[in-house]
């Protein structure tokens, strides 16, 4: 008799999210900004989904806050670059 393991969707999501978070830590160690935020956002969001599937409030709270912080950082990265480009052009015109 052969026993086949059947994995649930949460099993695949949690392992994918864990691997992506490890990659995010590596990218952070290599100082590859902003790519580190992308990896970490995907990983933390994956764990948020798992927390919701498991109805585990500790996972939901921690990963909701983590996702929000990383999302704000990603938005800030894009809006700051745009703002600084316009600001630098404005300074050059004045000088």
Q: What is the pLDDT of residue 31?
A: 92
- The C-alpha atoms of residue 81 and residue 84 are separated, in whole angstroms, by 5
Among the listed residues 40, 20, 36, the one whose alpha carbon sits nearest the alpha carbon of residue 28: 36
Q: What is the pLDDT of residue 29?
A: 96
**How does pLDDT run across 27-86, given as a tens digit for each residue?**
999 999 999 999 999 999 999 999 999 999 999 999 999 999 999 999 888 887 655 565
CB 40 within 8 A of CB 70: yes
Stated pTM of the model:
0.79
Q: What is the pLDDT of residue 78?
A: 83
- The C-alpha atoms of residue 42 and residue 49 are separated, in whole angstroms, by 11
Confidence grade of residue 15 (pLDDT, cut at 50, 70, 90): very high
Q: What is the pLDDT of residue 71?
A: 93
For every residue of 31-49, DSSP letters joined together read T-TTHHHHHHHHHHHHHHH
CB 16 within 8 A of CB 46: yes
Q: What is the pLDDT of residue 42?
A: 98
pLDDT average, residue stretch 11-34:
96
């Amino acid at each position: 008799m052969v026993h086949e393991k059947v994995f649930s969707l949460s099993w695949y999501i949690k392992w994918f999210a864990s691997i992506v978070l490890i990659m995010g830590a590596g990218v952070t160690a290599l100082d590859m900004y902003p790519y580190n935020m992308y990896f970490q956002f995907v990983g933390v969001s994956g764990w948020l989904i798992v927390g919701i599937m498991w109805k585990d409030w500790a996972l939901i709270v921690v990963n909701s806050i983590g996702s929000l912080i990383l999302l704000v950082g990603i938005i800030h990265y894009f809006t700051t670059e745009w703002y600084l480009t316009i600001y630098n052009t404005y300074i050059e015109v004045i000088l």
